[in-house]
Amino acid sequence: MERKFALGLLGRNEVKVFVKLPSAFTIPTPLGRYNPDWAVTIERPDGSRYIVFETKGTNETALLAPIERGKTQAARVHFAVIRHDIGMNDLEYEVVRDINAANAVIEREA
């Protein structure tokens, strides 16, 4: 799944940089440390966007195991706080099922 995701990102001209985040990159949550999967930089005429993706078997967080759901919900709050407190309005966090779902996030208006 990760290889297909990476190849899908490679095929998009507006994706300038992406990285599979190393296990050492974690954020604190009430349920323990959490390691998101991907960091992606999108270059668009209206400015760059930065998206942190978590790849799961579903786009529906309600279908995740309780700990996974809690960690992704905490990550959503974590990145929203960064977005707000630092004024980094071009930062997003999304849980996606696959590259098709990620493409929809990439293509939508910021």
Q: Which amino acid is at 70?
A: G
pTM for the model: 0.88
Q: Are 94 and 102 in contact (CB under 8 A)?
A: yes
Decide if pLDDT at 94 tops 80: yes
Confidence (pLDDT) at 31? 93
Least confident of 17-21, 30-34, 49-53, 55-59: 55-59
Taking residue 18's Cβ as centre, other Cβ atoms within 10 Å add up to 18
Question: What are the φ and ψ backbone dihedral angles of 28, each rounded to 5 degrees?
Answer: -75, 140
